[in-house]
Every structure is written in C-alpha cells, then in structure tokens.
Structure 1
Amino acid sequence: MKNLLIILLFVVILACIPLVMRKLSWNKIVKALEKEDFNKYYKSIDSFMCKVSYSAFDRENMRLSGYMSEGRKDDVENQFAMMKNMRVKAKYKIALGNRGFYYYLEQGRAKKARDMIDFVKANGGENVCRDLEMQYSILLKKESKYIDEVKQKLEALWDGKTPLGDDKKMIVGTFEYLIGLQYSYENDRENMMKYFTPALEHCKGTPYEDNIHEIMKRV
C-alpha cells in the first residue's frame, strides 16, 4: 500500500511538471514583451523550457507577434511563408490565414489580403472565409454588394430598440459602419447617414468614429 501511494505521488508530480514549466515559460515571455525586451523575448521562445511546454506552431506564432510588434515587415513576410508550410492541422492554418488577413487589411494591402483568403479557403472551404470575403470586398475593393447581407447580420443581432450592453455596442456599430460605408460608395447620403448616425454613438472612441466623420464630409 505504501509503495502504491509513492507511485501515485510520483505520477502526480510528473503530471504537474509540464504545467509548472508552461506557466513559468509564459510569465517570462509576457514580462519580456511588456518591457519590449525583444532579445529576451526571442531567447525565451527558443529556450528548452518553452520548447517542452509549447508546440512548434505556438512558438512560431509568438515569434510572429514579436516581429509584428517591432514592425519588422520583411521578417513578418518570411514568418508567414514559413508557417504556411508547417505540418499542422487545418484549424491552425485557418487561424494563421485569418491573422494574416487582418494584418494586411490594416495595411491596406489588397493582394496580400487576397492571398490569405485563398489560403484559408484551401484549408477550410468557402464557408470558413465568408466573412473575410465580405470585409475584403467592402474595405479593400470598396464594393457595395454586401449591403443586404450585413443588414441581415445586424437585424439578427439587434432589434434597433433594446438598450445595448457594452459587449454588443461595438459589434452593432461595426455592422452599421459597414452598411453606411457601402452606401457611401453609391453616393447615397440619405441611407449612409441612416447607419452612420447610430454607428457614431456605438463606435465612439474607436478609429471608425474618425473614418465616419471624414466620409460624411466628402459624400
């Protein structure tokens, strides 16, 4: 009986070691990033402790975050290219493609964003990249073919009357912004204002607010 208890205790200790190492490794990574000590950040990612605590994909994703934070565009490009070829499950490639899409969307790089959509589609099918296609069309191609679809999303989320909690305001405001933006492409000021007016309230303090004011001056 005594030997059995010793064995069980040993097994429990062994099971706890990876969790402890993972937590210690994560704390080092976070502290280095908070201090913007990127040399220490990359060393932590490449440390033995991190290698036994996190998958290769997770570590390379952390490295990608570092490159993005430093604004190392060439390294970001190379990192995306390398990670696309990693042997991982489709869900990880889809997550990588989504991350790449939003990175290039923020920079206004339509071709690169398109490549990321195609990468997501290749690993998850058309349904997985539907929202990316919509954002690509509206925000980068400046098309207005998704007005009805975004309206449906908005109506499914909010009845237009019920008070909105903080968790929903931004989502509702984003849909209103996307609808108003499409009407602005058609120079339809009346409908544009119908959606931009509430969007200003729901997106207060965000970059959308500034964009809306700029567009309202032009259209």
Structure 2
Amino acid sequence: MNMSLLAAIILISLILCAIAIPFFIRSFLWQSILKKIYKGQYDEAIQQMNAPLYTLLFTSYEKNYNILRTYMSKQDTHEITKQVEFMLSQNLNNSQAYQVASLTYFYFLDDQNVELSKKSLDIIERKGNEDEVAYDRMLYRILIEKKSEDISFVNELLSKNSDDQQQGILQYLLGLQYQYLSDVKQANYYFNKAKKNLKGTPYHKKVKESMV
C-alpha cells in the first residue's frame, strides 16, 4: 500500500470518527435526559439541557423545544406559557413555529388561554393541512368563543369515528354546544355518553363538572 493511499484511508477514518463521536454523545446525553423525565425529575432534566455540553451538541431550537416538552410533561402551565412566548418571539422558520403551535395548541385551549390559543391557531392555519385546520378552527369556536355553530360538523366526525376516547371528546364538544344553547336535556345526553367513553382520562372530570 503506497503512502498516499494510507494517508487517504487515515483521513477518511478520522472524518468518520469526528462525525460519529458527537452523534454517540448526543444519543447518550438524550437518553440520560429521557430517564430523568420518565422518573419525574423534570428540574434535573432541564438543568442538564441548560448545561454547556448540551448547548454545544444541540441547536438552540432543539434545546428550547425539548425544554418545552419537559414542561409539558410536568404540566407546568406558567413555564409552558413563558417558554412558548419566548420561542415564538425568536426567528423561527415556518416549520419550527408550526411544531411549537401543534404541540401546545390543545393545552392552551384546555387552559382557556385566549391569546396563545389564537396565536397558535394562526400559525397552524399557515402550515397545517386542510382537515387539521378545519378541526382546529372548530375547537377554537367551541372552546374559546363558546359558539354552537358546529353541531352538524361534530356529528359528522362522530359518525366516522369508532374510537371510544375520540367519540367521547366529540360527544363532549356536542354537549358544550347544546349547553351554550341552554338545551340542558341534549347537553346532558351527550355529556353522559362522553363521561362513559372518557372514563379514566383527564377529561372525565371535566365532563362531570360541565353537567348540570
């Protein structure tokens, strides 16, 4: 083997190592963080994501997005709100903004955060597909604007969905709309169906609280 060929092989090997080592460190570091999250050690996980090594190996967006996901797992409304406001104030591209909005939209609807629900919906409308946008607009009208103009649309979705929990969500949305119309009988009819289908989920309590 001549020296020039040997030098080329060594150079390629060094390049491959330079590429592979950060990848393995990233993978190891992320697995370490995930273990903390699974154990409920959220503050420790965030502290690790704010450390210099993580900042070196992950982009600023990846870091902030994963911190947001950790706050979502922790269900820390105050920190979720702060993190989303911070991220949306940055120079995100359309795909990144859509990813943040899609992750948090339902959370802000549930929390009745009008400002961030609307801001998230505006972003989803620019990037989401037609069905997603139609569904998310419907949720905004019912949960934020308290309107009852989507009864036919929700019934149509209900007729096409066989999943118990999804049916329960749709029945809950129907119950809310009839409640806005002061139709107590129809509201409770759908709330009772929703309560059965959503048993064991966070929405079970919400449905019970909505019943008259």
TM-score normalized with structure 1 length: 0.74
1:211 aligns to 2:177 (yes or no): no
CA-CA distance at 1:7 after TM superposition: 6.0
2:173 is aligned, of 171, 178, 187, to 178
Determine the structure 2 residue equivalent to 1:124. Answer: 127
CA distance in 2, matches of 1:25, 1:102: 30
Of the structure 1 ranges 149-158 and 207-216, higher mean CA displacement relative to structure 2 is found in 207-216
Determine the structure 2 residue equivalent to 1:147. Answer: 151
Determine the structure 1 residue equivalent to 2:25. Answer: 21
Per-residue CA deviation, residues 180-201 of structure 1 (Å, 9 max, x unaligned), is: 2212222334433543343222
Partner secondary structure for residue 142 of structure 1: coil
Of the structure 1 ranges 178-187 and 146-155, higher mean CA displacement relative to structure 2 is found in 178-187
Determine the structure 2 residue equivalent to 1:90. Answer: 94
CA distance in 1, matches of 2:196, 2:77: 36
CA-CA distance at 1:29 after TM superposition: 1.8
Per-residue CA deviation, residues 142-165 of structure 1 (Å, 9 max, x unaligned), is: 21111111111122223xxxxxxx
Q: Do 1:110 and 1:136's aligned partners in 2 also have CA atoms closer than 8 Å?
A: no
Partner secondary structure for residue 41 of structure 2: coil
Gaps of 5+ in 2: none
Cα separation, partners in 2 of 1:180 and 1:77, compared to 1, 3 Å:
closer
- Superposed, 1:38-117 pairs within 5 Å as 38=43, 40-67=44-71, 69=74, 71=76, 73=78, 76-117=80-121
Q: Do 1:173 and 1:202's aligned partners in 2 also have CA atoms closer than 8 Å?
A: yes
Instruction: Quote the RMSD (CA, aligned, Å).
Output: 3.1
Q: Do 1:179 and 1:195's aligned partners in 2 also have CA atoms closer than 8 Å?
A: yes
Percent of residue pairs bearing the same amino acid type: 22
CA distance in 2, matches of 1:37, 1:200: 31
Q: Do 1:173 and 1:203's aligned partners in 2 also have CA atoms closer than 8 Å?
A: yes
Partner secondary structure for residue 187 of structure 1: coil
CA distance in 2, matches of 1:46, 1:214: 40
Q: Do 1:180 and 1:196's aligned partners in 2 also have CA atoms closer than 8 Å?
A: yes
CA distance in 1, matches of 2:153, 2:11: 60
TM-score normalized with structure 2 length: 0.76
Q: Do 1:28 and 1:44's aligned partners in 2 also have CA atoms closer than 8 Å?
A: no
Q: Do 1:67 and 1:76's aligned partners in 2 also have CA atoms closer than 8 Å?
A: yes
CA-CA distance at 1:11 after TM superposition: 5.2
Cα separation, partners in 2 of 1:76 and 1:198, compared to 1, 3 Å:
closer
Q: Do 2:26 and 2:57's aligned partners in 1 also have CA atoms closer than 8 Å?
A: yes
How many pairs are equivalent? 205
Q: Do 2:42 and 2:70's aligned partners in 1 also have CA atoms closer than 8 Å?
A: no
